[in-house]
A and B are shown apart, each in its own frame.
Chain A
Amino acid sequence: MKKNSNNRGLLYPYVSPKHWRIMKLSLILLVIGLMHVSASTYSQSKKLNLRGQKFTLKEIFSAIEDQSTFTIFFNDDQVDLQKSLNGNFNDQEIFEVLDKVLEGSNLTYKVNDKLIVILEAAPTVIQEQQEEARTIKGKVVDVTGVGLPGVNVFVEGTTNGTITNIDGEYELNIKSDDQNIVFSFIGFQMQTIAISGRTQLDITLVEESIGLDEVVAVGYGVQKKSDLTGAVASVKSEDLSKVASSNPAEGLQGRIAGVNITKGSGAPGGSGVSIKIRGIGTLGGNSPLIVVDGFIGGDLNDINPNDIASMEVLKDGAAAAIYGSRAANGVILVTTKKGKKGEVQVDITSNMSVVNSVKNFDLLNGSEYITVHKMMYENAGETLPEYLTDGFTPKADTDWQDQVFRTGILQNHNVRLSGGGENIVYSLSGGISDEKGTLIGSDFRRNNWRARMGLTKGIVDVDANLAYSGKEQHLPFYNMTETYKISPLIPVYDEEAKWGYGMAYAGMPDHRNPIARQNYRTGNPTPYYPNYRDDYGSQEEVTANVSGTFNILKWFKYKINAGYKTGSYFNTNQVVPHQDRVQDEVLFTAVDEIRSKYKESLVENLLLFNKQWDKHRFDAVLGYSYQENKYGWTGATALGYINENSVDGDGNLVTETNPAGFLDQGFKTIDAGIGGEFKAKGSNTTYTRISYFGRINYSFADKYLVQLSVRRDGSSKFGSENQFGTFPSVALGWRLTEEGFLKDQDLISNLKLRASWGQLGSEGNLVPYQWQALIKTQNDYELGYVQGNGQSPWSGSAAKVMPNDGLKWEVAESLNMGIDYGVLNNRVTGTINYYINDTKDLLMYRSPAISSGFGDGIMNTAAMRNQGLELELTYHSKPRAFTYDITGTLSTLKNEVTALDNPDQVLYGDGLFLGDSHFPNQTRIGSPVGAFYLYKTDGLFQSQEEVDAHVNADGEAYQSAAAPGDIRFVDTNNDGKINEADKVYMGTGLPKVEYSLAFNASYKNFDFSILFYGVSGNKIYNGIGYNLSNMSGGSNYLNSTLDAWTPQNTNTSVPRAVLGDPNGNAKVASDRYLEDGGYLKLKNLQIGYSLPQSLLEKVSVDKLRVYVGGQNLFTITNYSGLDPEISRTVFNTGTDTSVYPQTRMVTAGVQLSF
């Protein structure tokens, strides 16, 4: 079949082949319109009016189309439109002119009805006269049933062929019945069908999704997929649209091997989605660089998924190196949709989902709570508090989870208008995403507007992109841990309580009543972290990006790209007097506001070269860029009280605090607090970058591909010593299928070997000015004090972190080897990549010895290696009424820390108990980052004899506070003590393998897609389980604690319940809470139905599709927590702590185009 592949895609209209289908409608209308006007004058002998002596081929073609009813099709690659022609063409017949202009070229033409098709002379498709011929007829249509004009139809193994007419009809002479007919058309999958005696053969062609001619964005340009030398993966809008989410990142999940998308929380707005490309590359933020239409640095969560035409993921060093110092975590290029020439097209999509949390905890109810707490107090020998005494009557038996959970609703509605004329294309879109969260008090709303416009004037092409995104998010004011921990004996409402809400009584532990907390606060509760821009209450962003391309010579362009992005953020919250727990009565109203503004501008100058000599093809880009980033914020707090000072009779200063301001509790502004006290804060930062970069691509005969690139970046985040970093890369490719030895076989249709090496940089999480030892000044407990008779506050100044002017770039060295393959006429396609990424001089926040008195500082330390294998395989079915494709991906990951400050260094993750104890994660050389190092347990002591027998070689008790029912810990290093040194490696939270399986199918008007995604080989430390089963005091627990060890209940793994936990059953991080973290999820399912074309035509609708689907529909896992899909910071990988619980969605939607 290989030999025929040249015949694919012979025909090429003025627009790119992928978009043929969209063009076609207007083309047909155009042709029909012309026929009406010119039916009487139509003649093959029509003479052209062409005054002048010198023309380009393009001018000739245009004249023919303008002056006749013919439409000319040609292939861009074969036809040089700029070819100049000398001579007199005036007043000559169309075909005379065509003969003349094509003379001497290897091109010929063919006429079918009103189409003129320009073809390569060899291999020529000509209609041979056959002696014993009979004819076969038919119609070629696309999946919507519309005829496809210009399709190549020929008898397999011959040069006998034709093309379809404007209605998609063809007629072909054939010799015998046992021949096959091949249908081929660019942008569509080729089909070969046996004639089998038929005289009528109608077929449906299906659009090709894996075409090698497909163009992908690679950063500062595009490349044909066949020319790629790096590991670049692409996801198109069709796949993204299968996920009902406001965050496009969710649509990437499971689509690309090596790209890990984790949705670690069910918070509305998709803000809990993390993206990691090829594992954990750096110790700071691991988010890849997002480039939106050439504007560097963006947030996927600001983009309407519906606006995206494609997302390209640059996975390896060579592909990403052109982005230099910000590319160490990989790069995602987002290309938004452009308009196409033609009439205004309207696309409307709309969906609505019902959202529920996947699972709740089984917590103790009131009587069970008393049972477990009683055990705890009795075992500790403590006097029972009142709520555990006999005869105590609780006020309530509250299920607090029921109180805060609800069914959420997610809605997405989008409209897009697009179209274009001769020198302009445009696309205008607007969208709304609105989500009511599954927890009360949480919601999210985003409005997106985008205008994209392309203009051509002379040699200048202008691409302008203007986007607005406005977001508003509310998160609950209560936290989930408190909600799980509060006693069920506490009523939600309590008339006896001063503020009407239930609180601890009768000596029970004091926790916040979540309902009270939620009801007395308004605004956006996001924390007050001015440095973290992703925390938002309400946020607006405008991005304007304009590029001008000067097509100076055919092989040389100059492009200037100017981008500007500004964001403003607003957070507010108001708290009114109330009490939600015994220990914390809020006496005064307070309103807190923070406003910030962010400005980023980018100027890039690019010189682009593209030249071909014979078989040598060069592509090069040379660029310079300057980027400036300014951020400023102010915060104000109005406190509804005033301190009134006076001196009493003894000469002592007396201060009274009295309510002030806030004449009405409904007032929520800062001004409303006039009369009370105020606080204000604010600052600003400036951050600049200067970069020089270049890339050259060379290919010889489309067989041998070479790419070299280098980028030199300077950043103001580093001290003057180390401001610049240089990041080179090299990549090679070899397309074996272009070699002679693979030409004459049918099995392998595409085979390419790739290898690449590149260096990338990272600034980690550096914030501006961090290289300096800043002296901080504060007037509170952190740095200040009080002095003098008047008890005057005395602000203090000191350096809180160590200076580090030696900070330098973090460097990631990446090696990639890959194979792209296609077999059985590209029915099976795929990619294999193997990579090794070494990161060194990792920029890392770490605490110097606590006793240094300095807080966490950032420093270059540590090195890490990630390596893995990525497999992608797709099977495309033969086009029948029922078509389908199946894609599987599989990636492995091995992460290893290769260097730290010193060989024995141990870096700990967070302590789960208030940050100071219970540390499950450690980072050590030779094991994965943030690995689990845990105490080893050996069951429970069943008797005092067993406790007494647990002694070291000297007869000393290992666990002096132990009693029967407590956990026996293992002295793993046999040093006679059980302590920190006995923690042993017990696995990692990083999956060894991630896999996915996607199945897409269509049958007649139905379509179906399903995506499974899974991970295995990882562990999860059940940190929430620890919190909810420690039985050491003060909270509600999981139902499983009812099974705690007692002398009567010895066949259990749950240790005895004892207040204070003297033996440390739960105080230390042990294997008790370590679980298998593997899972398989049905991430996504969608069933769609497109209404028949015949029906739609009557109402002038192109497409109307309705669908239902769901996300996160089920999970197969052994993990006992709420959901095994968790996302945590690097040093705490795999440790599950309380978050917004995960959700499951059921969606219904509609897509309409007209």
Chain B
Amino acid sequence: MKNLKNIKYSVLAFLLVGTMVACDEDLLIQESPDDLTSVNFYRNQDDAQGAVSAAYSQLECATEYWSFAEVKFVVDNYRSDLTQYGKDAANYPNWTDIANFTNEFGNTQVSTYWERHYKGVNYANQVIENVGIMSDDIIDPTVRAELVAEGQFLRAFYHLKLLLNFEEIIVRDKVVTSVGEAAQGLSSRVDAWNHIITDFKAAAAILPVTRESDEIGRVTKGAAVAFAAKCLLFRAGEEQDKKLEYLNEAKTLFYDVVESGKYSFALVNDFPSMFDGTNENNSESLFELQLSPVTAGGAYYKFPSHRFLRVSDLGGWDEIRAADNLMSIMTKEGTTALDGGYDRRVVGSLIFDDPAYNDAANPPFFEATWVNLCNGFQSGNWDETRRDEVDYTDVAFRKYLPANGEFWENQSSVNIPLLRYADVLLMYAETLNELNDPNTALTWINEVRTTHGNMPELSGLNQQAVRDQIEFERIMEFTMEGVRFFDLRRWGKLEAAMQAAGRTHFKLDQHAFFPIPQKEIISNDALN
């Protein structure tokens, strides 16, 4: 009886073991429930468009809440001799290191700048490689070619920003697939320029001239040509032996953008409107960082950059302000504008205590006068008697401060121009002048002066005078737009300018470019 029972249990046991062991090993294949993989993504045109969005996402260090202002503005503008860091910035040595040129030991802002731009390069490469091989039956070949060209433009743009900041960069022309492949050394500056210019030109060949309204903000052919020309002009300042060759080629390309009639770029009359959110993607904009107040579906593309930019009297955090002499430089022509005031670009770029800001009948600053603005931030107890408490020597930047209700809010979503037609014209003028044609150069300078500044035309200047005028016009036009330091460098004026600005730690051989970030060196086996 007992034996039988044992047999019964034994059989049961072995049966159970048998069924369990026979369990399907296919259960070991588990795949993500909501992510596609690089193998099964890129199914159709929508996927390809999504890939392109990612390639744009890292522009200007990505629209991340804090680091947009703290990285982009700090890295792009703190080194300029015409800015200084604000009072609160003294608390952040990682920022002031950049202004003071004491960043030898690795700097958080610089490495973030590097990292974000290379992410952009990577996402652009993912477009170029993966969209490029999508077959005709899943994507319209014309669309595919345009998307790949968009990727190439963006790759060139990220590389360009890096090359402006670092003497040598790593040119990434493909998606890396292993740590070993990721370990790649620095390219020579010449190779890097070649790669960037080639990319811009290749993009220019395919990109559309204009965008449909639902694609406004995405790159166009004109932008690609203009950037190729800009690269050549900058390069001409660096490689003396090929200066003429580059200038001539730049001239051809600038001509194409300005004079060929293929494009319809035109200067905007109302200078401040380009930076305060009231005239985004205007006729002067070749390339512009797109931001949005729309947060539907969890989207977020805005940040407190305006608070970063404002001085404390205007309720800001006081992180950046104009250099002490910027006001006097910009107003050196006095109130000689055609309307009897300052060059309009002064008022469009800076905020300061001046009758020009306090004309209640015609408030130039959004819908407020300067006094109204201070009022708004002086905890409600403001009256004229407290004017003395305000530090009138504080000159803040007006650029990028929103004119709409966002001025009073915590976040701003005003677009930021990345290449304006005024820049194209001034660069065209510079190219022509360097090719010894100061008179033609002056016509383009005058177009910018009159339209933006409402200033009288200039004439009869020689080549050097035109050079000086171009420098002045570029100060007037591009303050806070992150070009000053690079202009000084390609003109060979960096050392003198830094001395004059009292940057005592500046050494041309060490600080004309940032050192390669420590984070790159330690992660890149080809560098460490």
A786 to B522, CA, bound (A): 34
A677 to B218, CA, bound (A): 29
Give residues 918-953 of A contacting B (CB, 8 Å): 918-919
Q: Does B364 interact with chain A (Cβ within 8 Å)?
A: no
How distant is A1066 from chain B, measured CB to nearest CB, in Å? 9
Query: Which chain B residue lies CB-closest to A1030?
Result: B93
Choice from A787, A960, A961 contacting B217 with Cβ under 8 Å = A787
Give residues 665-687 of A contacting B (CB, 8 Å): 677, 679-681, 683-687
List the B side residues contacting A851 at CB < 8 Å.
Answer: 114, 118, 121, 169-170, 172, 182, 184, 520, 524
A560 to B16, CA, bound (A): 9
Choice from A460, A656, A913, A961 contacting B405 with Cβ under 8 Å = A656
Stretch at the interface among B17-25, B74-82, B254-262, B325-333: B17-25
Cβ B54 vs Cβ A796 within 8 A: yes
CB-CB contacts of B159-174 with A at 8 A, as 1s and 0s? Answer: 0000000000110100
How distant is A971 from chain B, measured CB to nearest CB, in Å? 14
List the A side residues contacting B32 at CB < 8 Å.
Answer: 685, 768-769, 772, 774
Cβ B290 vs Cβ A848 within 8 A: no
Cβ B215 vs Cβ A787 within 8 A: yes
List the B side residues contacting A902 at CB < 8 Å.
Answer: 525
List the A side residues contacting B281 at CB < 8 Å.
Answer: 789
Query: Which chain A residue lies CB-closest to B214?
Result: A788
List the B side residues contacting A1114 at CB < 8 Å.
Answer: none
List the B side residues contacting A772 at CB < 8 Å.
Answer: 31-32, 35, 37, 39
Choice from A560, A657, A784, A850 contacting B409 with Cβ under 8 Å = A657
CB-CB contacts of B394-434 with A at 8 A, as 1s and 0s? Answer: 00000000001110011001000000000000000000000
List the A side residues contacting B53 at CB < 8 Å.
Answer: 783-785, 787, 794-797
Cβ B520 vs Cβ A850 within 8 A: yes
A643 to B292, CA, bound (A): 12
List the B side residues contacting A495 at CB < 8 Å.
Answer: none
Cβ B20 vs Cβ A626 within 8 A: yes
Cβ A797 vs Cβ B91 within 8 A: no
Choice from B14, B87, B299, B304 contacting A779 with Cβ under 8 Å = B299
Cβ B118 vs Cβ A552 within 8 A: no
Cβ B41 vs Cβ A775 within 8 A: yes
List the B side residues contacting A583 at CB < 8 Å.
Answer: 304, 307, 317
Q: Knowing A783-B54, A797-B47, say if A980 contacts B290 (CB, 8 Å).
A: no
Q: Does B521 interact with chain A (Cβ within 8 Å)?
A: yes
Cβ B172 vs Cβ A853 within 8 A: yes
Cβ B96 vs Cβ A1060 within 8 A: yes
Cβ A901 vs Cβ B180 within 8 A: yes
How distant is B516 from chain A, measured CB to nearest CB, in Å? 9
Cβ A552 vs Cβ B183 within 8 A: no
Cβ B30 vs Cβ A716 within 8 A: yes
List the B side residues contacting A785 at CB < 8 Å.
Answer: 53-54, 56-57, 59, 290, 301
Give residues 839-857 of A contacting B (CB, 8 Å): 846-854
Q: Knowing A775-B41, A802-B176, say if A780 contacts B298 (CB, 8 Å).
A: yes
Cβ A655 vs Cβ B293 within 8 A: yes
Query: Which chain B residue lies CB-closest to A848?
Result: B182
Stretch at the interface among A150-158, A325-333, A888-896, A903-911: A903-911
List the B side residues contacting A1061 at CB < 8 Å.
Answer: 93, 102
Cβ B179 vs Cβ A917 within 8 A: no
Cβ B217 vs Cβ A803 within 8 A: no
Q: Knowing A458-B5, A793-B301, A851-B172, say if A655 contacts B413 (CB, 8 Å).
A: yes
CB-CB contacts of A494-509 with B at 8 A, as 1s and 0s? Answer: 0000100000000101
Query: Which chain A residue lies CB-closest to B319?
Result: A583
Cβ A382 vs Cβ B23 within 8 A: no
Cβ B214 vs Cβ A798 within 8 A: no
Choice from B64, B90, B301, B505 contacting A1033 with Cβ under 8 Å = B90
Query: Which chain B residue lies CB-closest to A1062?
Result: B102
Q: Knowing A772-B32, A785-B56, A849-B523, say if A1032 contacts B93 (CB, 8 Å).
A: yes
Q: Knowing A791-B293, A854-B182, say if A605 contacts B16 (CB, 8 Å).
A: yes
List the A side residues contacting B57 at CB < 8 Å.
Answer: 781-785, 796
Q: Does A914 interact with chain B (Cβ within 8 Å)?
A: yes
A1061 to B25, CA, bound (A): 61
List the B side residues contacting A914 at CB < 8 Å.
Answer: 94, 108
Stretch at the interface among A513-521, A645-653, A700-708: A645-653
A797 to B307, CA, bound (A): 31
Q: Knowing A652-B277, A653-B293, A789-B214, say if A861 contacts B35 (CB, 8 Å).
A: no
B side interface size, CB within 8 A: 129
Q: Does B372 interact with chain A (Cβ within 8 Å)?
A: no
A904 to B37, CA, bound (A): 34
A905 to B218, CA, bound (A): 41
A433 to B405, CA, bound (A): 52
Give residues 955-1006 of A contacting B (CB, 8 Å): 960-961, 979-980
Query: Which chain B residue lies CB-closest to A906?
Result: B528
Cβ A916 vs Cβ B106 within 8 A: yes
Q: Does B490 interact with chain A (Cβ within 8 Å)?
A: no
Q: Does A564 interact with chain B (Cβ within 8 Å)?
A: no
How distant is B48 from chain A, measured CB to nearest CB, in Å? 9
Q: Knowing A657-B409, A684-B33, A798-B51, say if A1034 contacts B6 (CB, 8 Å).
A: no
Cβ B108 vs Cβ A781 within 8 A: no
Q: Does B439 interact with chain A (Cβ within 8 Å)?
A: no
List the B side residues contacting A723 at CB < 8 Å.
Answer: 28
How distant is A1070 from chain B, measured CB to nearest CB, in Å? 11
List the A side residues contacting B437 at CB < 8 Å.
Answer: none
Q: Knowing A716-B27, A859-B179, A902-B525, say if A552 contacts B6 (CB, 8 Å).
A: yes
How distant is A347 from chain B, measured CB to nearest CB, in Å? 37
How distant is A678 from chain B, measured CB to nearest CB, in Å? 9
Q: Knowing A791-B293, A792-B214, A1064-B105, say if A688 contacts B115 (CB, 8 Å).
A: no
Cβ B54 vs Cβ A849 within 8 A: no
List the B side residues contacting A917 at CB < 8 Å.
Answer: 94, 105-108, 111, 518
Give residues 136-177 of A contacting B (CB, 8 Å): none
A29 to B370, CA, bound (A): 97
Cβ B213 vs Cβ A789 within 8 A: yes
List the B side residues contacting A510 at CB < 8 Å.
Answer: 88, 91, 317
Choice from A460, A849, A979, A1035 contacting B524 with Cβ under 8 Å = A849
Q: Does A587 interact with chain B (Cβ within 8 Å)?
A: yes
Q: Does B34 interact with chain A (Cβ within 8 Å)?
A: yes
List the B side residues contacting A906 at CB < 8 Å.
Answer: 522, 528
Cβ A690 vs Cβ B100 within 8 A: no
List the B side residues contacting A507 at CB < 8 Å.
Answer: 87-88
A921 to B28, CA, bound (A): 38
Q: Taking each of A683, A715, A792, A918, which has the highest tally of chain B beta carbons within 10 Å of its own beta carbon?
A: A792
A459 to B4, CA, bound (A): 13
How distant is B313 from chain A, measured CB to nearest CB, in Å? 12
Choice from A459, A560, A1067 contacting B93 with Cβ under 8 Å = A1067
Query: Which chain B residue lies CB-closest to A776?
Result: B35
A603 to B19, CA, bound (A): 12
Choice from A720, A780, A849, A905 contacting B301 with Cβ under 8 Å = A780
How distant is B87 from chain A, measured CB to nearest CB, in Å? 6
How distant is A54 from chain B, measured CB to nearest CB, in Å? 11
Cβ A849 vs Cβ B182 within 8 A: yes
A232 to B34, CA, bound (A): 44
Cβ B405 vs Cβ A919 within 8 A: no
Q: Knowing A787-B214, A848-B176, A854-B122, say if A1033 contacts B522 (CB, 8 Å).
A: no
A-B residue pairs, 7 tightest by C-beta: A853-B122, A1034-B91, A793-B299, A796-B53, A655-B293, A796-B54, A558-B13
Given contacts A385-B90, A849-B183, could you give 19 more A-B pairs where the C-beta distance is less than 8 Å? Answer: A458-B5, A509-B91, A558-B13, A685-B32, A692-B21, A723-B28, A781-B64, A786-B292, A791-B293, A791-B294, A798-B54, A849-B184, A851-B172, A901-B179, A907-B522, A914-B94, A1059-B93, A1060-B97, A1064-B104
> What are 17 A-to-B residue pairs whose CB atoms are below 8 Å?
A550-B12, A587-B410, A684-B33, A685-B32, A780-B300, A781-B68, A791-B290, A796-B51, A796-B55, A797-B54, A850-B111, A851-B169, A853-B121, A859-B179, A902-B525, A917-B105, A1060-B100
